[in-house]
Amino acid sequence: AGFRNVLVHGYLDVDVDLVAKLLGESLDDFEEFAGHLERWLGE
């Protein structure tokens, strides 16, 4: 849930380099977050 916390709690101050690094290392976290976001947007 670390990557999710970066996006959810610091979304206005997201470090693009950190996001790129985390996407490479924590893709499962990103996919899980994207699924939650997709379901939330569908409501």
Q: What is the DSSP string of the chain?
A: -HHHHHHHHSGGG--HHHHHHHHHH-HHHHHHHHHHHHHHHH-
* pLDDT (mean) for 33-40: 93
Q: How confident is the model at residue 11 (pLDDT cuts 50, 70, 90)?
A: low
* pLDDT (mean) for 20-25: 84
* pLDDT (mean) for 6-27: 78
Give the range among 7-11, 13-17, 18-22, 29-33 with minimum mean pLDDT: 7-11
Least Cα distance to 30 among 12, 8, 3, 9 occurs for 3
Q: How confident is the model at residue 7 (pLDDT cuts 50, 70, 90)?
A: confident
What's this model's pTM, rounded to 2 decimal places?
0.44
